[in-house]
Amino acid sequence: MRHSKYIIIGCLLVLGATSCKKWLDVNTDPNNPNNETVLVQNRLPWIQHFYCYTAGVTNFRTSCQAGVYYSTTASANAFSTTWIASTGNITPYQTWFVEVASNLNDLYNSAKKKGAWHYMATADVFHALGFMEMLDVYGEMPYTQALSETASPGFDDGKTIYYGCMAKLDEAIELFSKTQDATAPTLASGDMWNAGDVNKWIKLCYGLKARYMLKLSKKSDLFNADSVLYFLSKGPQSIADNVVQPGYNNSTVTDYLLGDPVVTNGNFDYVAYGSGQRISQYYYNLLTNMRGAGVTDPRMTKIVPASMSNIQLDASGKVTSFTWNRSKGVDSYGASARLVKGGAASIVTPTYAILNTTIAYKITNATDRANFIADQVAAGRTFTTNVDTVKVTYKAGSIFINSTNYLYAGDTAYVNMRSSALATSGIPAQGEKDVSWYPSAAAFSAGAVASTGSFQVRPVSDQEILTYHEMCFIKAEVYMRKGDVANAYTAYIAGIQAHLNMMQAKLTAWQAATYTATNPDMAPMNQTDINTYLTSNAVAGAGTLTMADIMLQKYIAMGCSIENWNDMRRFNFSAGNVGSFGVVYPGYDRGPLFAGTAQYTGGGKTDPRYWQRRWSLPTTLELNYNLTNALAINPHATDPNIWSMPVWWDCATDGEYYGYLNK
């Protein structure tokens, strides 16, 4: 795997002519780059960027597994709807090894020669971040030999990888605590995340240790609640300690490997670049009816996208009036009526009507025809009927579904997550401060917005690496496990408030930067709405707090993050058989379009193999070229039901884990 270590050299050349940020700069000799001349302060920002790219695709696909998103794309739909998992999930593995891991030894060693201890420490942090993420999704994989000269590295088990990552964080804390040599480059000269603030890096390390220790919550012999609380005491203490990678929309430069924008938020590159993703009904319901309170969360309109509807145009074809159509959630877990009728991946992307457009729908079912006609009446559209055919006219300016299949006509209710960046919109006139999505240049010219996007996944959103609100919710869970409900409640409220504060700070910054001129969803929340929510029944009272209350509020706050799927595995999803906590994720289960009987072979919800618990190794990489080593550690690596085999930290004992491997 070491043959890919020069990948960043090429990236430096790609950005040399059009760099949009000082961080993504060229090395000392841009015309003749080589591995020895790359400055450590130039290597680090690229590692930060490409790690976020890897995390972006992992966050997206695991969020589909956790029920945050519905997707029509093949791999993601298999996670969000049918559970017919395939071996096509190569991207996280590929981008991690090719673009990040292959450069860590070089960063570490070159920094060591310069006495740049803080850069050495960052190499350790990325080692932990990346390999722990690979453990989370793939389980066993090359680790101790992964970055060596070995062409076919041996595999390690999950326990080895886990403790190796924890050791890297311990060394990073030690290195960050050292004073760099006087001639060493300052960390600030190459750090996109923390601007060289060593204390924030140390807090990041401790916060990651708390997150990773929490993974062991099923292991009574290893989990130590007090250790987690100690790590939390050394980690982020306010939103000022949040570690994020900022996203930008000021460049058209794209990635050499996959062609995605270089400067945008990594989550955007997967969730909101294309038109296939939508909010799930599961997530939507938590934002509109948490705890059955019937109260709308003030964060809802910032997370759930909207499009324009009832558009009226003036004589020049410009939008003069409209109403906002806030998206519904796509139901793939409940009755799933729309998907059952149309197919698992059948929700259609809308188009823009330049002229009045009439579509004829043949509807043979009388009930469906009557319901369809009622919808047209409610929408105020012109239509005619002839036996079983209904002709509907969509006025110029309409955002509509251009299909004769009546099942799809109502899909405008499901607004996709899409945002636009300079490098992706295809509309040259769309400026960097307008990140809404328009279906066409004509729609943009008219001012017809088809999606306002979502808080975490716009090109200019911050990609969250570690946040104070996550630390608060971890603290709340740990205290709840200790039976200290009073402290758990304090941390629970602090977590909700911290997430609201983080969102409000970003929304305020967007407003100041004039993004709200075209997108009202990027404006701050109403403080009265926040106050009302915090005192409503949507938020548990001190005497009624449950583990589900804690984890569902954490679920909302984490959103597009692998940590939601990690948490759901720790609590066995909706099985309700972990401790005395009951069902922590009510309503989450296989949906009516489930077809993954070969992958998920458990006989019931309390059987671990009923659920999505890992990914298969990429066929085109490890299973084609390193199969012998893969099978040596796990003889079941190629079995269809590998997808339901728990990874090491998801097992209560080593005996359980090795039993899966050796059975």
User: Rounded to whole angstroms, how far apart are CA atoms 383 and 362?
Assistant: 13
Alpha-carbon separation of residue 133 from 33, 62, 139, 141, 231 (angstroms)? 31, 11, 9, 11, 20
Q: What is the mean pLDDT of the chain?
A: 93
Q: Can you say whether the dihedral through the CA atoms of 610, 612, 613, 617 is positive or negative?
A: positive
477 vs 260, more confident: 477
Which CATH code, of 3.40.50.2000, 3.40.50.620, 1.25.40.390, 2.60.40.1180, is assigned to 2-81+88-258? 1.25.40.390
Gyration radius of the chain's alpha carbons: 25
Q: Are the CB atoms for 281 and 332 separated by under 8 Å?
A: yes
Q: pLDDT by residue (tens digit) across 182-218?
A: 999 999 999 999 999 999 999 999 999 999 999 999 9
Q: pLDDT by residue (tens digit) across 631-657?
A: 999 999 999 999 999 999 999 999 999
pLDDT confidence tier of residue 7, bands split at 50, 70 and 90: very low
Q: How many CB atoms are located within 10 Å of the residue 477 CB?
A: 27
Q: How many CB atoms are located within 10 Å of the residue 155 CB?
A: 25
- What integer pLDDT is reported at residue 255 of this predicted model? 81
DSSP H or E stretch at residue 500: helix 485-512
User: Rounded to whole angstroms, how far apart are CA atoms 98 and 91?
Assistant: 10
Q: In b/e form, how buried is each residue of 302-322, taking b as 16+ CB within 10 angstroms? A: bbbbbbbbebebeeeeebeeb
- CATH 1.25.40.390 residue spans of the chain: 2-81+88-258
- What integer pLDDT is reported at residue 663 of this predicted model? 84
- What integer pLDDT is reported at residue 18 of this predicted model? 33
Q: In b/e form, how buried is each residue of 545-570, taking b as 16+ CB within 10 angstroms? A: bbbbbbbbbbbbbbbbbbbbbbbbbb
Which DSSP category does 484 fall into?
-
Report percent pLDDT > 70 for the chain: 94
Interhelix angle 40-65/562-570, nearest 10 degrees: 50
Q: Are the CB atoms for 489 and 542 separated by under 8 Å?
A: yes
Q: pLDDT by residue (tens digit) across 314-327?
A: 999 999 999 999 99
User: Rounded to whole angstroms, how far apart are CA atoms 615 and 93?
Assistant: 11
User: Rounded to whole angstroms, how far apart are CA atoms 462 and 48?
Assistant: 13
Which DSSP category does 439 fall into?
S
DSSP helix/strand/coil, 394: strand
pTM: 0.95
Q: pLDDT by residue (tens digit) across 104-131?
A: 999 999 999 999 999 999 999 999 999 9
Q: How confident is the model over 457-473, as a mean pLDDT? A: 98
Report percent pLDDT > 90 for the chain: 89
Q: How confident is the model over 473-502, as a mean pLDDT? A: 98
User: Rounded to whole angstroms, how far apart are CA atoms 490 and 493?
Assistant: 5
Q: pLDDT by residue (tens digit) across 256-308?
A: 777 889 999 999 999 999 999 999 999 999 999 999 999 999 999 999 999 99
User: Rounded to whole angstroms, how far apart are CA atoms 529 and 535?
Assistant: 10
Q: Can you say whether the dihedral through the CA atoms of 450, 442, 338, 374 is positive or negative?
A: positive
Q: Which two tokens stand for residue 84?
A: 């017919």
Listed as own residue / partner, the contacts of 336-339 with beta carbons closer than 8 Å and 24 or more positions apart are: 336/591, 336/592, 336/593, 338/407, 338/410, 338/411, 339/81, 339/591, 339/592, 339/593
- For residue 468, the number of C-alpha atoms closer than 13 Å in the C-beta half-sphere is 19
DSSP H or E stretch at residue 391: strand 389-394
DSSP helix/strand/coil, 71: strand
- What integer pLDDT is reported at residue 30 of this predicted model? 53
Q: How many CB atoms are located within 10 Å of the residue 663 CB?
A: 8
pLDDT confidence tier of residue 247, bands split at 50, 70 and 90: very high
Pairing of strands 319-326, 382-386: unpaired
φ and ψ at residue 351, rounded to 5 degrees: -125, 175
Q: pLDDT by residue (tens digit) across 393-418?
A: 999 999 999 999 999 999 999 999 99
Q: pLDDT by residue (tens digit) across 329-383?
A: 999 999 999 999 999 999 999 999 999 999 999 999 999 999 999 999 999 999 9
CA 271 to chain centre: 7
Query: 351 has which bridge partners?
Result: 400
Q: What angle do CA 633, 106, 266 make, to 5 degrees?
A: 75
Q: Can you say whether the dihedral through the CA atoms of 307, 506, 63, 295 is positive or negative?
A: negative
- What integer pLDDT is reported at residue 32 of this predicted model? 55
Query: 307 has which bridge partners?
Result: 325
What one-letter code names the amino acid at 226?
D
